[in-house]
Structure 1
Amino acid sequence: MATKTFIIILFIYMFSTSRAQTPQSNITTSSTLYTNSSPNFWPSPSGHFAFGFYPTGNGFRAGIWLIGSGPANDIIDVWTARRTDPVVSSGAALQFSVDGSKVLLRNSNGEVQLIAEPTRTAVAAAMLDSGNFVLCDSSSQTVWASFDHPTDTLLVGQKLAKDSELYSSMSLTNQSIGNFKLWMQSDGNLNAFPLRSIQDDKYGYWSSYTSGAGHNVTLNLDQYGILYLGNSTGLYQHQIGTSGSFSSKILWVAIVDEDRCVVKGACGLNSYCSLNGTGIACFCPPGFIYIDPEKPQEGCKLNSTIEDCLE
């Protein structure tokens, strides 16, 4: 079974993000979305981005996505709330509380979970054309922003602050937290690690090698498509789109195709990695079987039985 095992930074460019954006919204306190609403999302003014519920697996997740840019107009999610939790079922609701103090996810089983909690009371929310979902106070000042809480993607104008991480997804269709993270360390080094490893430089499988660059270094993606560390030294540069173009595509990857199996932690304990088309496959050596046949990347165990122990 093929599996995606490394972090890809997806560059998404829209001409409108180069202009200053003033929050404009009719998303007021007490507004509510349901999984079976029509629509079940709040769109940005251009209609390119949306915040709300999107279907995945046997349920729904709350998040932000780029509309109609993938194969067959599939969505491309760019931010997902509560990724460690199970998907919610039909009938769940997103609610901007009456007092403006939080955005809540209410599952159909009665469970209530926090999505966003502003620093001050909010009076309105807005889904911006930058892909940023914001809560604003009575002075139109942003008091909470999804850009300040990245999950697995950086958008134009967004940054990864020190001691912050991007976590890979399990797959392109499963946004649960995967096996890898990209960590903007406090020493200025940007490192990629398997989650099941000690978070020490020697266990990383990719690095910017910028340790010592400062204690407030950030990873930034600017309006020109330049991905750089916050000391303004360009690391990777790509010009993306012109004159109002609207597109999404992979322009750069940290791990080239032929090195995908070099990634530490790509396959679990007692297993080995093999390239498989655009992904990888994890296999067990003779005498071992998968710990979970549905998740071969989790590793292998000795194929032993009770009878073996009695011999």
Structure 2
Amino acid sequence: MDGRLILFENRSGGSIIWTTDTSGLGVETVSLLNNGNLVLMGSQSRVMWQSFDRPTNTLLPGQTLSYPQILRPPATRSVTSYYKFVVNTEGIALMWENNVTYWRTDSVSSVTVKEVRFNANGVLELYDDMNKIVWSVSSKDFGDGSVSLRHLRMNQDGNLRIYSWDDDVRTWRIGWQAVEDQCNVFGSCGLYSVCGYNSTGPVCACLYSDSLDSGNGVSGCKKMVDLENCKAHTSMLVMKQTVLYGLYPPLDVDMMLNEEDCQDYCSNGTTCFASTSKADGSGLCTLKKTAFICGSTSPAIPLTSFLGYV
């Protein structure tokens, strides 16, 4: 009666979980519009609150995302989402947590970004504060008159996609995605994992067989050894034609060693994170002591540092 939408914990009127906070604003009606927007309206159909102003992981046609709003995919089981689609003053970007940007628009630094809009024709447009388009991308079915339903969604795999409804097969098809190669999405396969390829495209795998870890609600693989026993059971795993992009920032390196010295150092070290790479025909070891393979239980960066693609 006071003009709020309220979500209660149970049907008998338990504690309030969520509310629109529109009490006393003169709300008279609530309507779900044809464009998917849920609105609370006052006199003369004046909008007092609308769901389009509070996006979660999806933009519908006609909906905008303004600085500093974000799209974040829902959590999986007990794990919160690490990925987000952000609008900032320089453009739009996909980020892992707050420090890793793995996709962004071309530089538009000469202007101040205002918002991104998703249109019914499948075009995603970025506007500056003068209401001019400074960047845009369209779905591959742009101009197809048979497509009547579209949406833009930030997915749990860290990719941003435009979807179009295929009425013939009754399913959503991908019309565009920000990161074409899923292996380039930071941390795409989870902890201690690698992203590789087969005949169908990118696939996730563990560093060694039978190590998939799905019991704790976190995607990824099991550790090869317990940290307490690391020194007694160390081994060197060399992965050729592999890019390890988990070192972040990339230039945060302590020393460079060859493979033999690297193995010796990490076998005797207490705080060592090592990665091997091939350069000029010789094996190099990049050491970063702010993270770890053995000896530390509180890394400065999460263990997605071990991820790469083969």
TM-score by length of 2: 0.54
CA distance in structure 2 between the partners assigned to 1:302 and 1:121 by the alignment: 61
Q: Judge conservation of contact 1:134–1:145 (CA < 8 Å) in 2.
A: yes
Q: Which residue is equivalent to 1:223?
A: 120
Q: Judge conservation of contact 1:104–1:116 (CA < 8 Å) in 2.
A: no
Residue of 142, 146, 149 corresponding to 2:47: 142
Q: Which residue is equivalent to 1:232?
A: 133
Deviations 1:215-236 (A, max 9, x none): 3421111233221101313421
Identity over aligned pairs, percent: 23
Residue of 173, 178, 182 corresponding to 1:260: 182
CA distance in structure 2 between the partners assigned to 1:279 and 1:118 by the alignment: 47
Instruction: Give 1:266's aligned amino acid.
Output: S
Q: Which residue is equivalent to 1:293?
A: 215
Q: Judge conservation of contact 2:96–2:186 (CA < 8 Å) in 1.
A: yes
RMSD of aligned residue pairs (Cα, Å): 3.7
Q: Secondary structure in 2 aligned to 1:147?
A: helix
Q: Secondary structure in 1 aligned to 2:83?
A: strand
CA distance in structure 2 between the partners assigned to 1:157 and 1:221 by the alignment: 6
CA distance in structure 2 between the partners assigned to 1:103 and 1:284 by the alignment: 48
1:162 and 1:222, CA in 2 relative to 1: closer, same or farther beyond 3 A? same
Q: Which residue is equivalent to 2:265?
A: none
Residue of 256, 259, 281 corresponding to 2:204: 281
Q: How many residues align?
A: 203
CA distance in structure 2 between the partners assigned to 1:188 and 1:264 by the alignment: 21
Q: Which residue is equivalent to 2:175?
A: 251
Q: Secondary structure in 2 aligned to 1:181?
A: strand
CA distance in structure 1 between the partners assigned to 2:71 and 2:50 by the alignment: 16
Q: Which runs of 5+ in 2 are unaligned?
A: 150-164, 166-171, 234-310
Q: Which has the higher contact order (CA 8 A, sep 6+)?
A: 1
1:101 and 1:108, CA in 2 relative to 1: closer, same or farther beyond 3 A? closer
Q: Judge conservation of contact 1:154–1:221 (CA < 8 Å) in 2.
A: yes
Q: Secondary structure in 2 aligned to 1:205?
A: strand
The alignment status of 1:155 with 2:79, answered yes or no, reads: no
1:274 and 1:105, CA in 2 relative to 1: closer, same or farther beyond 3 A? farther
1:269 and 1:130, CA in 2 relative to 1: closer, same or farther beyond 3 A? same
Instruction: Give 2:134's aligned amino acid.
Output: T
The alignment status of 1:183 with 2:86, answered yes or no, reads: yes
CA distance in structure 2 between the partners assigned to 1:175 and 1:158 by the alignment: 30
CA distance in structure 2 between the partners assigned to 1:233 and 1:309 by the alignment: 54
Q: Which residue is equivalent to 1:23?
A: none
1:123 and 1:176, CA in 2 relative to 1: closer, same or farther beyond 3 A? farther
TM-score by length of 1: 0.54
Deviations 1:82-101 (A, max 9, x none): xxxxxxxxxxxxxxxx2113
CA distance in structure 2 between the partners assigned to 1:136 and 1:296 by the alignment: 42
Deviations 1:107-128 (A, max 9, x none): 3593421142338342211111
Instruction: Give 2:118's aligned amino acid.
Output: L
Q: Secondary structure in 2 aligned to 1:160?
A: strand
Deviations 1:177-229 (A, max 9, x none): 533111101x232110113xx43xxx211100334253342111123322110
How much does 1:299 deviate? Answer: 5.3
